[in-house]
Structure 1
Amino acid sequence: MGVSSSMGYENGTVSEEKKQPLVSFGVIADVQYADIPDGHSFSGVPRYYRHSLLVLQRAVQQWNEKRVKFVINFGDTIDGFCPKDHSLAAIQRVLDEFGAFDGPVYHMIGNHCLYNLPREKLLPLLNIASHNNRAYYDFSPIPEVRFVVLDGYDISSIGWPQDHPNTIKAMNFLKERNPNSDKNSPNGLVGLERRFLMFNGAVGEEQMRWLDNVLQDATELNQIVVVCCHLPLDPGASFIESLLWNYDEVMEVIHRYNCVKVCLGGHDHKGGHSVDSHGVHHRVLEAALECPSGTNAFGAIDIFHDRLLLSGADRMESQEMVFCSYMEQQDLCTTRCLKAHN
């Protein structure tokens, strides 16, 4: 459902909500800046590497005008085609633009970031406080709401040293599940197996335990939780080829609790939305990289007690996501179980 809003958030038609939100924040995904000529994805979709920086500049201006409390950048800050000797300069240029925002910016890592820089260099630049170069964390901008940022490349063949246990684990995982010599090719893979590609990754066991503990704590504090990950967590919201390898295991942990209302992601540039079997909304954000000259893809999100309202600019679809009540979630789970039994 679309929403109308001033200050450039034009994509929608629903009347402005009069009640004040609990908190408002800005979102942008897949800037993938590089100081190189425009190009195309492997499937032929145009990509505008220099223009994406202008999209970010306009986003920062409008976030400041709207006075959102903070911003979340959903990863892939620079592009994999960025010349490696220019990687540091390119990411610094993007971070300088984020620095013009009048508030904190929370970053996450994506595959294109890791093509350019190893974790030990990348995480300090993104101001991600890490333990052993892990990039997952949580924060509460207000007592009623908690954000959980997952590291979707915890188990990955990119970003870690070649001999790191997580690299070895990822390569063995891919060898078992993807018979192609090019591990970024889904040829011959069927259905959900098509997610087993090298440009994706997985959440490791330590992070999974951490997630369980965080959600248990949030439940005890009666918090609304928004889970953020560069990689999508539901097949209904994205192409199969963009999913986290073990999205199902992550969602099994999330579904143990009623506190998680929305999962936000990037990576799949076209964007998407779904509501899963437990009533959790999944919203994948449209990429800034694929905006032709003069167009935008960014947004501002208002969180209320009963819903989340995304006001998107231009190519980012606006959306109202109404939270399921506890009883509605139980009804959905019962229906799902009955269908599985039958």
Structure 2
Amino acid sequence: MEESPALYFTFGIIADIQYADIANGFNYTKTRMRYYRNSLALLKGAIGGWAEERRKPEFILQLGDLIDGFNARDKRSEISLQKVLTEIEKLDVQFHHVWGNHEFYNFSRKFLLGSKLNTKPLADMMDDLTVSSPSSDCHEDSFYGYHFSPFNKFRFLLIDTYDLSAIGRGKPSVKYEISLKLLKEKNPNEDLNSPTGLKEPQYVQFNGGVSGDQLTWINRVLTSSDEKQEKVIVVGHLPIHPEATDTICLAWNYQEILSLLQSHSCVLAYLAGHDHDGGYCADIFGIHHVTFKGVIETPPESQAYGTMYVYEDKMVLKGQGHVLDRTLHYRETRTQTAQ
């Protein structure tokens, strides 16, 4: 990638590593192979690739599902997490971690808030925030979200798409009770991870949603960015546009989240993981929805990560292996469909 005077900054992106020290196995629907041990080797490859880039990324977005839920079954959650974090820490670049369903298969929210997967404190180090991030205390109904500005007029907003969820919380959480009731109303199946017969197939237990209090906070952040004429990239584990993913992978209340983002002119893109096949669309408002392919289902001979190059008028994604190259023109100056 040739450098240019207009290149503002770069950042890396990787999704759904799902490391576990177990043999390869199939996915939930028995249609795709998962390479549990090799995912660590692919992470090492990504770390090495970013380290060798002529312009090292300013930061890395890790889009969730860092280790697989099988670690909880084998009582290896903390061991596997440390093994992955040891590799991450070899790169002298800060990671920003999103939480996905596999984080909650392995850990409680209280544990995550006290762990290195809680990167919310970095927001205070990188930016003088006008709109504060939510409290990071350990009460059962808090949500994990924050925002930061790595470059003038650019902001990244990390949201918690498992704020409403039947995993990761328990009694006496009000949100847990509300979430479980909603899930059972929408999904009458005995197996709550099954979408069989559902009119809204996203209502499965391995997905989640965004609560009203978090939507209010997101609206405040984006309103502030509109006023300051910032460009905002929103980041979450679950996709929110049905044309950028299989519908079974959408956030529960994706329409509500999508409508909110579309109501703010500052939003340029929404980056997600979860759907290991990946996906892309530009919506009717020109927001780019990029769903990143999962490392866990990437064969050993390939790769699945990318580096985004941010310019005055566009972002250019340089993908590795299964991650495709894309040019994402900003809404104000966008003259053609992203390639």
Length-normalised TM-score, structure 2: 0.88
Equivalent residues in 2 for 1:240-279, closer than 5 Å: 240-279=247-286
Please say if residues 34 and 49 of structure 1, whose CA atoms lie closer than 8 Å, have aligned partners that are also in contact. yes
Q: Which residue of 2 aligns with 1:11?
A: none
Higher relative contact order (CA 8 A, sep 6+): 1
1:17 shift after superposition = 6.7
Are residue 116 (structure 1) and residue 97 (structure 2) matched?
A: no
Are residue 218 (structure 1) and residue 209 (structure 2) matched?
A: no
Are residue 140 (structure 1) and residue 149 (structure 2) matched?
A: yes
Equivalent residues in 2 for 1:68-147, closer than 5 Å: 68-82=57-71, 83-125=73-115, 126-129=117-120, 130-131=136-137, 132=139, 133-147=142-156
Amino acid at match of 2:70: F
Aligned partners of 1:249 and 1:290: how far apart in 2? 30
Are residue 313 (structure 1) and residue 320 (structure 2) matched?
A: yes
1:237 shift after superposition = 0.3
1:327 shift after superposition = 9.7
> What do the CA deviations read for 1:200-219 (whole angstroms, capped 9, x no partner)?
00101111111001001111
Aligned partners of 2:5 and 2:334: how far apart in 1? 25
Aligned partners of 2:247 and 2:174: how far apart in 1? 26
SS of residue paired to 2:76? helix
1:199 shift after superposition = 0.5
Please say if residues 161 and 238 of structure 2, whose CA atoms lie closer than 8 Å, have aligned partners that are also in contact. yes
Structure 1 alignment gaps of length 5 or more: 6-15, 329-342
Aligned partners of 2:317 and 2:333: how far apart in 1? 23
Please say if residues 128 and 135 of structure 1, whose CA atoms lie closer than 8 Å, have aligned partners that are also in contact. no
Equivalent residues in 2 for 1:165-180, closer than 5 Å: 165-180=174-189
Are residue 298 (structure 1) and residue 314 (structure 2) matched?
A: no
Q: Which residue of 1 aligns with 2:127?
A: none
1:58 shift after superposition = 1.0
SS of residue paired to 2:57? coil
1:176 shift after superposition = 1.4
1:162 shift after superposition = 3.6
Are residue 283 (structure 1) and residue 269 (structure 2) matched?
A: no
RMSD: 1.6
Give 2:213's match in structure 1, choosing from 190, 201, 206.
206
> What do the CA deviations read for 1:120-162 (whole angstroms, capped 9, x no partner)?
1123221334244421111111122100001000010100124
1:324 shift after superposition = 2.1
Q: Which residue of 2 aligns with 1:161?
A: 170
Is the helix fraction higher in 1 or 2? 1
> What do the CA deviations read for 1:166-190 (whole angstroms, capped 9, x no partner)?
1111111112111111111111113
Please say if residues 258 and 326 of structure 1, whose CA atoms lie closer than 8 Å, have aligned partners that are also in contact. no
Please say if residues 62 and 97 of structure 2, whose CA atoms lie closer than 8 Å, have aligned partners that are also in contact. yes
Are residue 30 (structure 1) and residue 21 (structure 2) matched?
A: no
Mean Cα deviation higher: 146-155 or 90-99: 90-99
Q: Which residue of 2 aligns with 1:55?
A: 42
Aligned partners of 2:151 and 2:249: how far apart in 1? 32
Aligned partners of 2:228 and 2:270: how far apart in 1? 19
Amino acid at match of 2:57: V
> What do the CA deviations read for 1:220-279 (whole angstroms, capped 9, x no partner)?
221110000000010000000000111111112111211101100000000010011211
SS of residue paired to 2:233? strand
Please say if residues 273 and 292 of structure 2, whose CA atoms lie closer than 8 Å, have aligned partners that are also in contact. yes
SS of residue paired to 2:91? coil
Length-normalised TM-score, structure 1: 0.88
Are residue 40 (structure 1) and residue 30 (structure 2) matched?
A: no
Give 2:239's match in structure 1, choosing from 232, 235, 245.
232
Identity of aligned residues (%): 37
> What do the CA deviations read for 1:269-308 (whole angstroms, capped 9, x no partner)?
0001001121111000001111212311011011122211
Moved over 6 A (4+): none
1:98 shift after superposition = 1.1
Please say if residues 313 and 333 of structure 2, whose CA atoms lie closer than 8 Å, have aligned partners that are also in contact. no
Mean Cα deviation higher: 53-62 or 265-274: 53-62
Please say if residues 163 and 211 of structure 2, whose CA atoms lie closer than 8 Å, have aligned partners that are also in contact. yes
Q: Which residue of 2 aligns with 1:338?
A: none
Structure 2 alignment gaps of length 5 or more: 121-135
> What do the CA deviations read for 1:30-63 (whole angstroms, capped 9, x no partner)?
0000011111102220000011111111111111
> Aligned pair in 2 of structure 1 residues 166, 84: CA closer, same or farther (>3 Å)?
farther
The aligned length equals 312
Please say if residues 31 and 53 of structure 1, whose CA atoms lie closer than 8 Å, have aligned partners that are also in contact. yes
Please say if residues 35 and 299 of structure 2, whose CA atoms lie closer than 8 Å, have aligned partners that are also in contact. yes
Please say if residues 225 and 261 of structure 1, whose CA atoms lie closer than 8 Å, have aligned partners that are also in contact. yes
Please say if residues 303 and 309 of structure 1, whose CA atoms lie closer than 8 Å, have aligned partners that are also in contact. yes
